Amino acid sequence: MFLLGVVYAAAILILVRMLGRAWPIGVAVIVAFAAFQVLTSGRLAVRTMGAREVTAAEEPELHALVDRLCALGGMDKPTIAVAESKVPNACALGRSKGSATLCVTRGLLETLEPNELEGVIAHELSHVAHGDAAVMTVAAFVGVLAGLVARIGLRLVYIGGRARGLWHIIVVALGFIALSAATWFVSLVLTRSLSRYREFAADRSAAQLTGNPAALASALTKVSAKVSGGGGIPQVDLRKAGALNAFYFAPVSAAKTTAHHLLSTHPTTQARLDRLLRMSSQL
């Protein structure tokens, strides 16, 4: 988080110098974009997932499980939603603990045993307790904005290239593209590293809460194997799930090489299993 703060402060300082007297407009745009992302990201994610809120009458076992884990963890119960997807997964969304939504897929409810499901739900509730959705939204917003600015810069270069006498627009646009691309890439590496760390933290908290790291490890093995191997899951479901890869209990697309791992939102399945195995031995 400290490194992200340094990168973002440097990028904003350079942007202010580039904008000259118009710097208040640039800062206002950044603040407005941050507020928009924080306020809307949770609702947009739930909508993207295709989930709907379910009552205790509709899903009594799921509600009972969440009630028990929330009581054990001493936390408020989040809204519970179910997505009618065959992809076995779960995620926690929302900008604050009070407005959190816990989403599970129908595929997860049908795939896991009760003790395995308990581990996954405890993992997601740990994300809620840690405020991970809000932290990652705030951590990533300048990087997302930088990517948007880079796209606008490319459009300006295209316009300047087609019109004569607008070479100065091309020069300015190239400057914005260079700054935005550098900010976006460094932000991407740092936020993905932060995301992987917080997945380890949620695994550990879930194992401590349930006292059963082996069940969480079993759930992780089942979900990862079914998602990576297809498991009869329609390709349409897998493509839709990919949009929320960073939020899921297990990623829909896993890193294949060391270079890909540096940009992965999740640690490798084996790394998570190794840590859970050590916790199981300690307990």
Distance between CA atoms of 271 and 279, rounded to whole angstroms? 13
* Per annotation, catalytic residue among 110, 116, 118, 124: 124
Which segments of the chain does DSSP mark as H helices, in order? Answer: 2-19, 23-49, 60-73, 106-111, 114-130, 132-162, 167-210, 213-228, 235-242, 258-262, 269-282
If DSSP codes are grouped into helix, strand and coil, which group holds residue 261? helix
Other C-beta atoms closer than 10 Å to the C-beta of 265 total: 21
| Cα-to-chain-centroid distance, residue 270 | 20
Which residue bears the tokens 């897929």? Answer: 105
Name which of 57, 123, 59, 60 is nearest 89 in CA terms. 123
d(CA 121, CA 42): 18
Tokens 């090489």 sit on residue: 257
Q: Is 84 one of the catalytic residues?
A: no
Closest by CA to 272, choosing from 260, 263, 280, is 280
Q: Which two tokens stand for residue 161?
A: 């290239």
Active-site residue list: 124
